[in-house]
Amino acid sequence: MKTLITEDQLRAGIRSFAEKIQQHYQGRPLTLVGVMVGSIMLLADLIRFLDLPMRIEIVQARTQPHGLRSGPLVLNGDVLASSILNRHVLVVDDIFDTGRTLWDLIPQIDDLGPISVRIAVLLQKEGRREVPLKPDFTAFTIPNEFVVGYGLDYCDKYRNLPYIAALEPQEMEEAEGKSAAP
């Protein structure tokens, strides 16, 4: 495993990322929509660092087998609707890889009548984007490697790491083997 972003770098990067978001919204009420589960740590840090009136909602993206990318999104439309109508919305996700997860999600949020919708991601992978959509706020840009830590997992492992690391192919095989055991 190779550390890409140390704990100190992560903390400093997220602080300045939160400051940019804070400046952008200028005290206006905001709804944060966290894409679970990978964004759970980032969502918690944004809640700590943003000094704004905030409402918190979540949507769930089910990961496909082996965790390489997200599957279909699960939205609780009734709950989301009242937190999105006539409000500024910031969608918070762990990583923008191909962008397909957010490409599916954003129109569903738009349908609920927000004043604005913006996207904040912890990580964006270089050279992987497949859709005409870009995050508005990105804390770190990383090379095209499979990363774990700070909420991101592989086969249920490594979510707890306080830093971001890239997995070697052999470590991915090991994690797959372990998750198959009962």
Binder among 38, 114, 135, 149 for ligand IMP (CB under 6 A): 38
Nearer to ligand IMP, 25 or 103 (CB): 103
Q: Single out the residue of 103, 141, 144, 106 nearest to residue 122, CA to CA.
A: 141
Q: Does 93 bind ligand IMP (CB under 6 A)?
A: yes
| DSSP character at residue 134 | -
Q: Minimum distance from CB of 68 to ligand IMP (Å)?
A: 7
Q: Minimum distance from CB of 35 to Mg ion (Å)?
A: 5
| Annotation marks residue 8 as catalytic | no
Write out the binding residues for ligand IMP, residues 134-163 only, by CB under 6 A: 146-148, 152
Write out the binding residues for ligand IMP, residues 61-90 only, by CB under 6 A: 63, 69-70
Tokens of 99: 């962008």
Q: Does 41 bind ligand IMP (CB under 6 A)?
A: no
Q: How many CB atoms lie within 10 A of CB 61?
A: 23
Phi first, then psi, for residue 181 (nearest 5°) are: -70, 145
Tokens of 79: 């709950």
Residues in CB range of 112: below 8 A, 6 or more apart = 77, 80, 81, 84, 85
Write out the binding residues for Mg ion, residues 32-91 only, by CB under 5 A: 38
Which stretches of the chain bind ligand IMP, using CB under 6 A?
38, 63, 69-70, 93-101, 146-148, 152
